[in-house]
């Protein structure tokens, strides 16, 4: 087997083994380790009161995004539900290129 066929076979096998996990949406919360100042703690777009979700629009619908954002607000104790703010496109990772921005509200 040629090296090109072997490499393609390995890549395809890895893709099948990873399943759909490559496309699962997630809260884009990156933190600076060891920082004590809360204003400089988060380096990603998401904060406890403003969750931002990375997602793929072909795989994830708006209802799933809303449920994730609501759950994050409750988990972080910053609100009882999330209110949609905006979506941005093609500013994330290759397989999850979009971001959905929310604001936690305490109503």
Question: For the segment 33-46, what is each residue's pLDDT rounded down to a tens digit?
Answer: 777 776 677 666 77
**Domain boundaries of the chain, sorted by first residue:** 21-105
The structure tokens listed for 42 are 């988060």
Q: How many CA atoms lie within 13 A of 56 on its CB side?
A: 11
Question: For the segment 13-68, what is each residue's pLDDT rounded down to a tens digit?
Answer: 555 554 445 678 888 876 667 777 766 776 667 778 889 999 998 888 999 999 99
């Amino acid at each position: 087997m040629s090296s090109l066929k072997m490499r393609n076979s390995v890549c395809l096998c890895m893709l099948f083994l990873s399943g759909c996990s490559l496309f699962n949406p997630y809260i884009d919360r990156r933190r600076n380790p060891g920082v004590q100042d809360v204003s400089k703690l988060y380096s990603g777009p998401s904060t406890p009161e403003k969750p931002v979700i990375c997602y793929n629009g072909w795989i994830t619908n708006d209802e799933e995004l809303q449920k994730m954002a609501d759950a994050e607000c409750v988990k972080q104790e910053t609100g009882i539900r999330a209110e949609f703010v905006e979506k941005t496109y093609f500013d994330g990772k290759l397989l999850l290129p979009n971001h959905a921005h929310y604001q936690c509200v305490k109503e």
